[in-house]
């Protein structure tokens, strides 16, 4: 029986670095190993210093990748959260400048099996409320079933996460016609309670060339049972992805809403709540373009509008410049009734979790002129 001594001269530099990291993992002294290599003239003092530096960086990356907040549960759970803090300077007379907490959300996703999952999103800004609460059954790429409270499959911008919006606020047409702040059924955060079937209609390799969404919803909004009427609302969406980065969407919504914010003649009454929209999205590594048109019918009032947005990263994935044209007509039958927003600003991404947005909006109203331009700056941090 005999043993061979290790010839350190034949060890590659990367293997020596691995031994140093391994020694750290088992609480052994990396300095002792390096000193031995120096004494044997296997490496120089400069090489040893370089190994120490690289080893420290790699060890930091290993530590950063560890879970800081482990969660014990019967099934796999993913937890995410983010907060948006905004400051607004309002030029309109009588309005006050100031800070507000726009979002303070916790997002829980449970992975039961490869085919079954659930999600719960809560928001603590203003007052605690449930935003999303649904389950998904993924049969295959072509048939996926979603049940519960979630975003209605209408409008590309509505389906974009609040934390990933190109600018601070939603467009006027989305805000007014897709279950948000100025919709006649009140602010439902773009969501409702119902069931949806969706998936791919046509695939090419791993890419979906043609996708669909079909849903049946209460039409009453979030966190409440359907008390508006016995009928249910129907919505559908078709998405075509002909090229990488290019998406074309068509959305349709047919329903009866219980109005809470229309003219006095319709308060509390069931009324037509119909929508039709088309959208285009084209995204390159540095350049992005969004366009969307929506037409709506509330009772006997027709409304429509559109926006076009152009974004460009002057520093890839870091600094993005945005310009946007945003038009909305709240009653097509009335003249001098259009509001137009001209928006410009910048997004600065510190990393994938932290973001700073600053935008100035010039507002023009036909008819009565109001000096109500807005400057908004918003900081977003997540985990």
d(CA 103, CA 81): 10
Q: Which domains does the chain have, with CATH numbers?
A: 8-64 (no CATH), 79-382 (2.40.160.10)
The predicted structure's pLDDT at residue 47: 74
Distance CA(61)–CA(69), nearest Å, equals 17
Q: How far is CA 151 from the centre of its chain?
A: 12
In whole angstroms, give the CA distance from residue 246 to residue 129. Answer: 35
Where residue 63 falls among pLDDT bands split at 50, 70, 90?
A: low
Task: Tell me the two tokens of residue 240.
Answer: 């075509």
Reported as a single tens digit per residue, the pLDDT across 180-234 is 999 988 899 999 999 999 999 999 888 999 999 999 999 888 998 765 556 789 9
Computed over every residue of the chain, the mean pLDDT equals: 86
Query: Higher pLDDT residue, 313 or 72?
Result: 313
CB-CB contact of 166 with 153 (8 Å)? no
Give me the mean pLDDT over the 359-368 stretch. 91
pTM above 0.75, yes or no: yes
Q: Which residue spans within the chain are E strands per DSSP?
A: 76-90, 98-111, 116-123, 129-138, 144-151, 191-204, 207-217, 233-243, 246-254, 256-258, 270-283, 287-298, 301-315, 319-329, 338-349, 354-365, 374-382
pLDDT of residue 246: 97
Report pLDDT digits (tens) over 91-136.
Answer: 988 888 999 999 999 999 999 888 999 999 999 998 899 999 999 9
How far is residue 195 CA from its own chain's centroid?
21
pLDDT at 25 over 50: no
Lowest mean pLDDT among 59-63, 108-112, 308-312, 354-358: 59-63
pLDDT (0 to 100) of residue 89: 95
Rounded CA separation 373/100 (Å): 18
pLDDT reported for residue 57: 63
pLDDT value at residue 76: 82
Residue 20 pLDDT greater than 80, yes or no: no
| C-alpha distances in Å from residue 154, one per residue of 100, 184, 238, 365 | 28, 16, 10, 27
* Contact call for residues 170 and 157 (beta carbons, < 8 A): yes
More confident residue, 367 or 338: 338
Is residue 51 very low, low, confident or very high in pLDDT (cuts 50, 70, 90)?
Answer: confident
- Is the pLDDT at 315 greater than 80? The verdict is yes
Residue 52: its H or E element: helix 45-64
Alpha carbon of 221 to those of 191, 252, 256: distances in Å? 7, 17, 12
SS3 per residue for 4-49 = CCCCHHHCCHHHHHHHHHHHHHCCCCHHHHHHHHHHCCCCCHHHHH
Task: Give 127-177 pLDDT, tens digit per residue.
Answer: 899 999 999 999 999 999 999 999 999 999 999 999 999 999 999 999 999
Q: What is the DSSP string of 238-261?
A: EEEEEETTEEEEEEEEE-EEE-SS
Between 287 and 225, where is the model more confident? Answer: 287
């Amino acid at each position: 029986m005999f043993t061979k001594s290790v010839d350190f001269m034949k060890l590659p530099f990367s293997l020596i670095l691995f031994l140093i990291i391994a020694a750290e993992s088992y609480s052994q002294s990396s300095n002792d190993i390096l000193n031995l290599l120096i004494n044997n003239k296997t490496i120089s003092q400069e090489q040893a210093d370089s190994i120490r530096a690289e080893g420290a960086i790699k060890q930091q990356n290993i530590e950063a990748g560890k879970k800081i907040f482990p969660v014990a549960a019967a099934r796999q759970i993913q937890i995410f959260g983010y907060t948006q803090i905004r400051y607004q300077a309002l030029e309109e007379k009588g309005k006050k400048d100031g800070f507000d907490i726009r979002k303070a959300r916790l997002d829980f996703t449970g992975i039961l099996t490869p085919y079954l999952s659930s999600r719960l999103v809560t928001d603590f800004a203003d007052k605690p409320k449930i935003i999303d609460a649904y389950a998904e059954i993924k049969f295959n790429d072509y048939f996926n079933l979603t049940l519960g409270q979630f975003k209605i499959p209408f409008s590309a911008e509505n389906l974009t996460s609040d934390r990933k919006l190109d600018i601070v606020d939603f467009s006027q047409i989305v805000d007014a016609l897709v279950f948000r702040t100025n919709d006649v059924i009140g602010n439902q955060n773009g969501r409702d309670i119902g069931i949806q079937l969706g998936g791919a209609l046509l695939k090419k390799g791993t890419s979906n060339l043609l996708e669909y969404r079909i849903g049946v919803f209460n039409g009453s909004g979030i966190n409440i049972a359907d008390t508006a009427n016995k009928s249910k609302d129907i919505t559908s969406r078709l998405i075509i992805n002909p090229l990488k980065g290019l998406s074309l969407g068509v959305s349709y919504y047919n329903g009866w809403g219980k109005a809470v914010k229309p003219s006095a003649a319709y308060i509390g009454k069931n009324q037509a709540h119909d929508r039709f929209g088309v959208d285009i999205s084209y995204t390159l590594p540095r350049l992005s373009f969004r366009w969307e048109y929506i037409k709506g019918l509330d009772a006997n009032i027709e409304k429509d509008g559109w926006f076009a947005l152009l974004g460009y990263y002057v520093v890839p994935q870091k600094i993005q410049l945005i310009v946007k044209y945003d038009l909305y007509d709240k009653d097509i039958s009335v003249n001098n009734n259009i509001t137009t927003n001209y928006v410009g600003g910048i997004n600065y991404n510190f990393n994938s979790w932290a973001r700073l947005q600053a935008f100035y909006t010039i507002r023009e109203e036909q008819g009565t002129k109001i000096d109500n331009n807005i400057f908004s700056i918003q900081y977003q941090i997540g985990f």
